[in-house]
Amino acid sequence: MLASWVDASVDAQPCRHADKSETSGLGSDIKAYVTAPLHAKGPQWVRFGATLAAVATAYQYDEQLRAHFYDTPPGQGEPADTHDSVDALPAALALGGTWLAAIAHHDPDGCREAVSMFEAAAFSSVSTWVLKAAAGRERPYVSGDAGQWHTGGDSFPSGHTAAAFAIGTVLAESGNDRYRWLRRVLGYGLGVGTAYARVSHDAHWLSDTVAGAGVGVGTARFVMKRRDQDDRRSSRLTLTPADGGGGIQLSYVVDLRR
């Protein structure tokens, strides 16, 4: 047992390097995330419009789906148990498992994947908090009326779903393509499973979870794009005079510490 802890401490070294390289650019990532709508291009606006259409469609079925799970009017019977901690556990295990696996296998790329998961989950959580304050929608177990907006509630969008899709999307789209199908099943399955749990536990309306999924996927795509840009900046093509002044030397430099 002691040996395993010693090995883990040695294995964690690549993750320390990855953590430093990622957190050094956190400030610029935050700035880019906040200002992202100002720089959005056509494809991003198309995806945003599709998300709004999906939320609007789900909104039409909010009360119908709740009635499928619950036939008791809000405020009657036992107080609602929305299982917040239980529903957050799968996403937390995915993040923690990715981090521990990277440490165990001396895998800096896995460490960076875990850092990206954490950053995507954090950004999406802040976004959902802002949207909750703006929307003020009541939880289904409180009113049973899907149209209760701007009443001080915190239902829209689902923060659990946003974080699960943020972590799941990084899991699904990171790494090589050898096990892409399995990564996508696990990653997106994590998000869908969390969304189902939030609705079945009467914690959120269907449209809350659809909006949360949009926030989570969009945030994860943003974080992964930023990481790809960092990778491209870590390699460079240079031209230098050859030894002896007899010509030009072409070199391609890659920072393997990343």
Buried b (16+ CB within 10 A) or exposed e, 194-225: bbebbbbbbbbbbbbbbbbbbbbbbbbbbbbe
- The arithmetic mean of pLDDT across residues 128-151, rounded, is 94
Asked if the model's pLDDT at residue 110 lies above 80, the reply is yes
Q: pLDDT band at residue 241, thresholds of 50, 70 and 90?
A: low
Q: pLDDT band at residue 250, thresholds of 50, 70 and 90?
A: very low
Instruction: Please classify residue 165 by burial: count the beta carbons closer than 10 Å to its beta carbon, then call 0-12 exposed, 13-18 middle and 19+ buried.
Output: buried
- Regarding predicted confidence, which is higher, 92 or 258? 92
Q: pLDDT band at residue 61, thresholds of 50, 70 and 90?
A: very high
* pLDDT for 120: 96
Q: Which residues neighbour 81 within 8 Å (Cβ) at sequence distance 6 or greater?
A: 201
Q: Where are the domains of the chain?
A: 2-254
Q: How far is CA 90 from the centre of its chain?
A: 13
pLDDT digits (tens, 9 = 90+) for 2-46: 333 334 433 445 566 555 445 446 678 788 888 778 787 888 899
DSSP code of residue 78: S
pTM of the model: 0.81
Identify the weakest region by mean pLDDT among 80-84, 132-136, 219-223: 80-84
pLDDT digits (tens, 9 = 90+) for 160-183: 999 999 999 999 999 888 899 999
